[in-house]
């Protein structure tokens, strides 16, 4: 079969070369531009140099911000008030659609469940593990085990968990689902896990918690290391119990870190897409905003409804970010 | 420590150098290999030496390799290089590329619905008169029609598939003395007979990742063609007849006689979580008797599940599978449901049109079919070039069908055909959603304009 070899007619080098040349010429052009700017800056007066300094540092950042963030955001908001192919304005019709169609209401409800459950549970578990391992001998081993899921991509994690939730309808075939095996071991007839609503949403949430707990644990554990020993010792001398020390010393001392962890996980959860798409494709009433946004925009080619969902998602993130910024400011003034 | 690091990096460089040598070595042999093709057949496409044509498509390796192989002589003789660009994200990326001004030269559309959406952008180029003439001469008018948007012909047919098939094992049928049914009521009667044994009559799987549910839409379409006439089918596709019309409800109820009958399909809800590939596997291992699926499933069952595609007469082959025609209401009612791809152009450069024209030639269609696993609706396609017995039957159906209709979900707007229709058929089995609620929800999702 000589033909298969013939298919790739270009050598690897032939494919790489033009890209490499583009890359090198791009770098050279950039270097030339930088040199030019410095040369020009040197020739101007001291006062003008001040301005050139601002320009040189601000313009690239501003330009990227406008191209990459402000323009797309403004355009998305604009598109959300237009029809499917962005030709005419339809007012708030897309938003009415989002808040009246039962399947979209289900999407919003599911997203709310995700946003409530994932940050609280993963932060709580992370906090407890961080506290329990704080003065442990082989803490590193435990922590790395719990942190490991962070290193797995969402799609990878979803596929792993899909095997856990696997259900085999035929009694004649081999059942590979771990959860089914456990419930059979306990003498229960396993349901078709990913079909049972609302259980299935929580099963998907478990995947996200599995991933995020490691993150919460690492950040909170680092914060706990920063608690001065004097404080802990003083409370011990005062006769505070373990639980009391945890609630009245540890938690208040790492409050800022807890807020950061909570808000970071919340934002990550609002954006959750991969898990739902990989495990159920948004079927069986497990859909969430980000997945529906993609489906509307890139499958149904309805840029109006897709953008409206994007804006709703955006509005959901804004208060969390504002709260986060406020907390950071508070932190700074306290210091 | 420092030394080991350095040594390791030297080894790395050496490995890279060896790899580079190996690569350039391969490349040299590739270039030396020349084709001994007779170039006289390519006279119509000459005058475009040194040009390149990008072909954007959903078809990726391994199928893509056979396509590229089929282009070799053409490329050799005409000097046109066809750059095959396959992406599984084609449907999402094509609109983005077109809107961004970087449309491909040619796009292979798996759904006429997406073609219509792309024509609406104003970026597509109508097919040249030569392409139109070739399609007129080589395909039935139905096929030209599916590449036509608002009276203008844009996209030429490429590959085809036939969906009106029930797959089964001739050995299992012969061993049990089951006869091939020729009407819908005979099919249901046979299902009852099989249900009385320890074999499950039907295997069904709707699962297909984000596209879960498309198998259900195929069932609906096949039955729509059988219980209603072709004109009603067309009205259904265009939404002239509403999705919640009583006629559609009748069809869904018929589909439910099989798909929602636990005696026939086992666990109904599990259909939604069984992948369409696994769904078909039951007929290979004998755990179920029948599987309604398009012609292409044969390749998957043969490749991944150890099946062998045979003819209905081969009743002694263990693991042998073949098809019978998905019967109509009466024995003489034989409509065919199918699908296919269409090649549309975003550029009118002569080399682009030459490639588009070449793909409609009998020469290319026979060449591609002879490489295996593929066929088209080209009337000049010689069934002798189609080795697979099921595909050969499919070609005959395509060339002789009295009523041929295209997969409805591929014709409907994407919001329905690749959206609510899939989702609601899934909910129909997974959540036991009522027929009326399913049809109402699909109708509600139909785009306004």
Domain ranges of chain B: 45-162+338-406, 165-337+408-444
Residue A63 has pLDDT above 70, yes or no: yes
- Closest residue in B to A93 (Cα) is B448
Q: Residue A11 is nearest to which of B23, B430, B441, comparing CB atoms?
A: B23
pLDDT in the model for residue B31: 40
Domain end among A79, A109, A132: A79
The rounded distance, in Å, linking the Cα atoms of B282 and B199 is 10
Residues 120-139 of A with CB under 8 A from B: none
Q: Give the range among A146-160, A238-252, A277-291, B37-51 with minimum mean pLDDT.
A: B37-51
Q: Please indicate whether, in this complex, the C-beta atoms of A195 and B269 are within 8 angstroms of each other.
A: yes
CB atoms inside a 10 Å sphere around CB A226: 9
Q: CATH number of the domain at B45-162+338-406, out of 3.40.190.10, 3.40.50.300, 2.40.240.20, 3.40.50.620?
A: 3.40.190.10
The number of residues in chain B equals 449
Q: Residue A300 is nearest to which of B69, B212, B414, comparing CB atoms?
A: B414
- Closest residue in B to A13 (Cα) is B24
CA distance A285 to chain B (A): 9
Q: Do domains B45-162+338-406 and B165-337+408-444 have the same CATH topology?
A: yes
Compare A241 and B20 and report the one with higher pLDDT: A241
Structure tokens at B371: 């490489």
* Residues A99 and A234 placed together within one structural domain of the fold: yes
Q: Please indicate whether, in this complex, the C-beta atoms of A169 and B24 are within 8 angstroms of each other.
A: no
Residue to substitute from B19, B22, B28, B30, interface A, most A β-carbons within 10 A: B30
The rounded distance, in Å, linking the Cα atoms of B357 and B132 is 9
pLDDT in the model for residue A3: 40
Q: CATH number of the domain at B165-337+408-444, out of 3.40.190.10, 3.40.50.80, 3.40.640.10, 1.20.120.1760?
A: 3.40.190.10
Q: Please indicate whether, in this complex, the C-beta atoms of A11 and B30 are within 8 angstroms of each other.
A: yes
Q: What is the mean pLDDT of the segment spanning A184-188?
A: 90
pLDDT bucket at A276, cuts 50 / 70 / 90: very high
pLDDT in the model for residue A10: 60
* Residues A292 and A155 placed together within one structural domain of the fold: yes
**What pTM, to 2 d.p., does this model score?**
0.81
> Mean pLDDT across chain A, nearest whole number?
87
pLDDT bucket at A44, cuts 50 / 70 / 90: confident
Give the SS3 label for residue A95. Answer: helix
Contact partners, residue A180, CB within 8 Å, separation at least 6: A166, A167, A168, A190, A193
Contacts of B23 in chain A (CB under 8 A): 11-13
- Give the bridge partners for B210, in sequence order: B208
Structure tokens at A292: 């529906």
Q: Is the dihedral of CA B130, B134, B136, B139 positive or negative?
A: negative
Q: What is the mean pLDDT of the segment spanning A61-84?
A: 93
Which domain does A39 fall in, by range? 2-79
Q: Please indicate whether, in this complex, the C-beta atoms of B33 and A6 are within 8 angstroms of each other.
A: yes
pLDDT bucket at A72, cuts 50 / 70 / 90: very high
Residue A2 has pLDDT above 60, yes or no: no
Domain end among A48, A79, A110: A79
Contacts of A281 in chain B (CB under 8 A): 209-212
User: Which CATH number is A244's domain given?
Assistant: 1.10.3720.10
pLDDT in the model for residue B219: 95
ipTM value of the model? 0.77
- Closest residue in B to A100 (Cα) is B444
Low-confidence ranges of chain B (pLDDT < 70): 1-37, 449
Residue to substitute from B93, B197, B210, B441, interface A, most A β-carbons within 10 A: B210
Residue to substitute from A300, A303, A309, interface B, most B β-carbons within 10 A: A300
CB B277 within 8 A of CB A199: no
Contacts of B200 in chain A (CB under 8 A): 170
Q: What is the mean pLDDT of the segment spanning A108-120?
A: 94
pLDDT in the model for residue A6: 41
Residue A241 domain flag: yes
Compare A42 and B430 and report the one with higher pLDDT: B430
Contacts of A2 in chain B (CB under 8 A): 33
Residue whose entry in the numeric block shows the structure tokens 């906090």: A127
- Number of domains within chain A: 2
* Residues A104 and A67 placed together within one structural domain of the fold: no
Contacts of B83 in chain A (CB under 8 A): none
């Amino acid at each position: 079969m000589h033909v298969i070899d013939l298919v790739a007619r270009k050598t690897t080098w032939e494919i790489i070369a033009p890209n490499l040349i583009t890359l090198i010429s791009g770098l050279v052009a950039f270097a030339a531009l930088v040199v030019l700017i410095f040369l020009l800056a040197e020739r101007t007066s001291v006062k003008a140099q001040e301005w050139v300094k601002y320009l040189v540092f601000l313009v690239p950042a501003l330009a990227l911000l406008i191209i990459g963030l402000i323009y797309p955001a403004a355009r998305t908001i604009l598109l959300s008030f237009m029809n499917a192919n962005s030709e005419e304005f339809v007012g708030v019709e897309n938003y009415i659609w989002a808040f009246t169609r039962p399947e979209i209401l289900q999407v919003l409800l599911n997203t709310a469940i995700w946003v409530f459950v994932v940050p609280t549970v993963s932060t709580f578990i992370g906090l407890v593990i961080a506290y329990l391992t704080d003065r442990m001998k082989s803490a590193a081993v435990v922590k790395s085990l719990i942190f490991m899921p962070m290193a797995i991509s969402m799609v990878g994690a979803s596929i792993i968990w899909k095997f856990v939730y696997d259900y085999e309808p035929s009694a004649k075939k081999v059942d590979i689902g771990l959860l089914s095996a456990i419930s059979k071991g306990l003498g229960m007839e396993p349901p078709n896990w990913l079909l049972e609503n609302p259980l299935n949403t929580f099963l998907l949430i478990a995947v996200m918690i599995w991933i995020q707990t490691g993150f919460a644990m690492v950040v909170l554990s680092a914060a706990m290391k920063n608690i001065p020993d004097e404080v802990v010792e003083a409370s011990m001398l005062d006769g505070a119990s373990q639980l009391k020390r945890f609630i009245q010393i540890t938690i208040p001392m790492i409050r800022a870190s807890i807020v950061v962890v909570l808000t970071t996980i919340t934002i990550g959860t609002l954006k959750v897409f991969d898990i739902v798409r990989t495990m159920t494709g948004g079927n069986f009433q497990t859909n969430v905003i980000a997945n529906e946004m993609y489906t509307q925009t890139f499958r149904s080619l309805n840029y109006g409804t897709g953008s409206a969902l994007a804006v709703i998602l955006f509005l959901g993130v804004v208060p969390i970010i504002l709260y986060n910024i406020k907390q950071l400011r508070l932190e700074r003034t306290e210091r | 420590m420092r030394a080991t690091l350095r040594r390791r990096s030297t080894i790395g460089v050496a490995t890279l150098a060896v790899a580079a040598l190996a690569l350039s070595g391969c490349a040299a042999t590739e270039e030396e290999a020349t084709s001994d093709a007779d170039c006289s057949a390519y006279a119509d496409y000459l005058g475009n030496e040194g040009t390149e044509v990008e072909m954007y498509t959903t078809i990726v390796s391994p199928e893509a390799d056979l396509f590229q192989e089929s282009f070799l002589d053409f490329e050799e003789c005409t000097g046109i290089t066809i750059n095959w660009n396959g992406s599984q994200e084609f449907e999402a990326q094509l609109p983005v590329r077109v809107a961004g001004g970087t449309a491909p030269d040619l796009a292979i559309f798996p759904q006429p619905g997406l073609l219509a959406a792309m024509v609406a952008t104003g970026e597509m180029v109508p097919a040249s008169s030569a392409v139109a003439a070739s399609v007129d001469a080589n395909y039935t008018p139905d096929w030209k029609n599916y590449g036509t948007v608002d009276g203008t012909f844009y996209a030429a047919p490429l590959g085809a598939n036939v969906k009106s098939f029930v797959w089964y094992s001739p050995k299992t049928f012969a061993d049990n003395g089951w006869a091939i049914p020729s009407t819908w009521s005979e099919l249901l009667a046979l299902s009852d007979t099989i249900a009385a044994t320890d074999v499950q009559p039907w295997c069904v799987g709707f699962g297909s990742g984000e596209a879960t549910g498309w198998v259900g839409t195929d069932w609906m379409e096949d039955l729509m063609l059988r219980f209603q006439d072709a004109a009603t089918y067309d009205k259904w596709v265009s939404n002239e007849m509403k999705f919640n019309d009583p006629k559609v409800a009748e069809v869904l109820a018929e589909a439910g006689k099989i798909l929602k009958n636990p005696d026939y399909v086992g666990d109904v809800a599990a259909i939604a979580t069984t992948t369409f590939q696994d769904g078909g596997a039951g007929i290979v291992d004998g755990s179920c008797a029948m599987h309604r699926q398009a012609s292409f499933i044969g390749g998957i069952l043969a490749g991944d599940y150890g099946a062998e595609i045979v003819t209905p007469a081969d009743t002694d082959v263990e693991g042998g599978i073949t098809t019978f025609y998905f019967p109509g209401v009466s024995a003489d009612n034989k409509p065919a449901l199918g699908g296919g791809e269409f090649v549309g152009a975003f550029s009118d450069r002569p080399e682009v049109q030459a490639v588009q024209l070449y793909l409609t030639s009998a020469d290319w269609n026979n060449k591609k079919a002879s490489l295996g696993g593929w066929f088209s609706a080209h009337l000049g396609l010689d069934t002798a070039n189609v080795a697979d017995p099921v595909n050969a039957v499919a070609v005959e159906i395509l060339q002789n069908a009295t009523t041929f209709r295209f997969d409805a979900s591929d014709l409907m707007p994407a919001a329905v055909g690749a959206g609510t229709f899939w989702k609601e058929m899934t909910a129909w089995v997974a959540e036991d959603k009522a027929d009326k609620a399913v049809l109402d929800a699909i109708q509600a999702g139909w785009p306004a304009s």
